[in-house]
């Protein structure tokens, strides 16, 4: 009887596992099932750091899309073999997705990593923060038009919310579309009718209102926030169903102003038999926007790469008003959960 093959040394095993492909999470799942030792190694925080460092020149892969399917009802459409755990509650609307975390709500909110200097390649298990913005009517008030809008910041490290920062404005009600985390240390939210943008400074915990470029009421829903090449806050707006306007906000002291970067005629980009498109989402840290178009009564989501105008179909028969690309390094052992009870009451 032949002697059993000698076990591989840990260093050799790790060198093998480090080379698992980013865009095929099933490889990590199968490797984790080989034995308990490999499973523990793949779930180790130190290995995850080395895995990210090994692939540091590549952005985290896109594992799929999170979108609202009405009611609201969250859905995940995979683009790889990755499958998340099922949600254990209905009626939660997907609101934001960043740094490997997805945030669902039952007003506007944003999720972000709270680790200083993090590369955000796989910081799922570390501390995080949630920026929450809501508009409400004070008791005894009859006019909602001047009702206050407040912002809070939740810290997972302390389990508490910050004191609110409040503004009163005739149009500062948050619009339920994804936020943008810009390089100036602030998170930005759209407002209804698109006339204003809310800026929440994460260092000063200060909420302010920025006026948007002039907008036609007929197109108020067809706009979304994005990041520009220099990491600033930008705005994409679809006018008259085909003219995609790209804007950049330049906050230079008192001379803060909007600058129009370019205008793209989507009639020249999207096939002519498609019906009027809508803006659904933006991949933060890239130049890709997502639009939906209708072909023969079926809704199709397409990705437009703004630098090259390359169009790629990413979802078929997806009836959604918002699409969030989920980008993350995946290894077995990731978790999900609700905010603790102490985080629910502001």
Residue among 63, 62, 18, 7 at smallest CA distance from 44: 18
Show the tokens assigned to 31.
């490797």
Lookup result for tokens 């809070």: 152
Residue among 204, 205, 196 at smallest CA distance from 132: 205
Backbone angles phi, psi at 31, to 5 degrees: -65, -35
Please report, for the chain, the start and end positions of each structural domain, with discontinuous segments joined by +.
Answer: 10-49, 59-343
Alpha-helical runs (H) found in the chain: 10-17, 25-32, 36-43, 45-54
Under 8 Å between Cβ of 93 and 72: yes
Q: In whole angstroms, how far apart are CA 121 and each of 57, 300, 342?
A: 11, 30, 29
pLDDT at residue 162, as a whole number:
95
Q: What secondary structure does DSSP assign to 59-127, as a single string?
A: PPPEEEEEEE-SSS-EEEEESSS--PPPPS-SSPEEEEEETTEEEEE--EEEEEE--TT---SS-TTS-
What single DSSP character describes residue 182?
-
pLDDT at residue 206, as a whole number:
96
Lookup result for tokens 């009870």: 341
What is the distance between the terminal CA atoms of the chain, rounded to a whole angstrom? Answer: 69
Residue among 45, 56, 54 at smallest CA distance from 17: 54
Show the tokens assigned to 332.
């077995």
Show the tokens assigned to 300.
């199709």
Rounded to 10 deg, the angle between the 10-17 and 45-54 helix axes is 50
**pLDDT truncated to tens, each residue of the chain (346 aa)?**
555 555 666 777 788 777 777 666 667 777 777 788 877 787 777 777 787 777 666 666 777 777 776 655 677 777 666 666 655 455 567 777 777 777 777 556 676 666 565 544 455 556 888 898 988 765 555 544 567 899 999 998 899 999 999 998 888 888 878 889 998 889 999 988 778 999 999 999 999 999 988 766 556 668 889 999 888 999 999 888 788 999 999 876 566 789 999 999 988 888 766 677 888 889 887 888 998 887 777 788 888 999 999 998 888 877 777 888 877 766 555 444 554 554 444 4
Show the tokens assigned to 89.
């509650």
Show the tokens assigned to 38.
């490999």
Rg (CA), the chain: 22
How would you list the strands of the sheet with 74-78, edge to edge? 74-78, 62-68, 323-327
d(CA 41, CA 58): 22
pLDDT at residue 274, as a whole number:
66
Q: Is the dihedral of CA 101, 311, 24, 45 positive or negative?
A: negative
Alpha-helical runs (H) found in 183-250: none
DSSP bridge pairs for 235: 225, 247
Look at domain 59-343 and name its CATH class: mainly beta
d(CA 165, CA 137): 16
d(CA 304, CA 247): 16
d(CA 140, CA 266): 48
What single DSSP character describes residue 317?
S
The continuous run of DSSP H or E covering 266 comes out as: none
pLDDT at residue 109, as a whole number:
67
**293-298-268 Cα angle (round to 5):** 25
Cα 54 → chain centroid: 25
């Amino acid at each position: 009887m032949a002697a059993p093959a000698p076990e591989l040394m840990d260093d050799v095993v790790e060198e093998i596992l480090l080379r698992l492909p980013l865009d095929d999470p099933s490889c990590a799942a199968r490797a984790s099932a080989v034995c308990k030792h490999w499973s523990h190694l793949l779930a180790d925080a130190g290995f995850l750091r080395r895995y990210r460092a090994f692939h540091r020149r590549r952005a985290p892969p896109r594992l799929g899309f999170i979108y609202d399917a009405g009611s609201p009802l969250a859905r995940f459409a995979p683009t790889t073999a990755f499958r998340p755990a099922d949600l254990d509650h209905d009626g939660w609307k997907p609101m934001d997705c960043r740094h490997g975390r997805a945030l669902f709500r039952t007003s506007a909110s944003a999720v972000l990593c709270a680790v200083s200097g993090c590369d955000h390649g796989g910081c799922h298990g570390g501390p995080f923060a949630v920026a929450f913005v809501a508009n409400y009517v004070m008791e005894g008030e009859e006019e909602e038009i001047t009702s206050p809008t407040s912002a809070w910041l939740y810290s997972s490290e302390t389990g508490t919310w910050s004191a609110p920062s409040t503004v009163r404005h005739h149009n500062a009600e948050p619009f339920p579309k994804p936020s943008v985390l810009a390089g100036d240390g602030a998170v930005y939210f759209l407002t209804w009718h698109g006339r204003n943008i809310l800026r929440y400074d994460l260092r000063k915990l200060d909420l302010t209102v920025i006026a948007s470029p002039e907008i036609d009421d007929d197109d108020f829903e067809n706009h979304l926030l994005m990041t520009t090449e220099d990491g600033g806050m930008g705005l994409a707006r679809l006018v008259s169903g085909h003219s995609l306007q790209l804007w950049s906000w330049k906050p230079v002291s008192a001379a803060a102003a909007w600058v129009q970067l370019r205008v793209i005629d989507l009639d020249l980009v999207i096939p002519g038999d498609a019906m009027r498109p809508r803006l659904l989402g933006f991949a933060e840290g890239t130049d890709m926007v997502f639009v939906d178009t209708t072909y023969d009564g079926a809704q199709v989501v397409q990705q437009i790469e703004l630098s090259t105008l390359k169009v790629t179909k990413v979802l078929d028969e997806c009836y959604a008003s918002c699409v969030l690309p989920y980008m993350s390094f995946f290894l077995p052992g990731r978790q999900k959960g609700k905010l603790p009870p102490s985080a629910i009451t502001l």
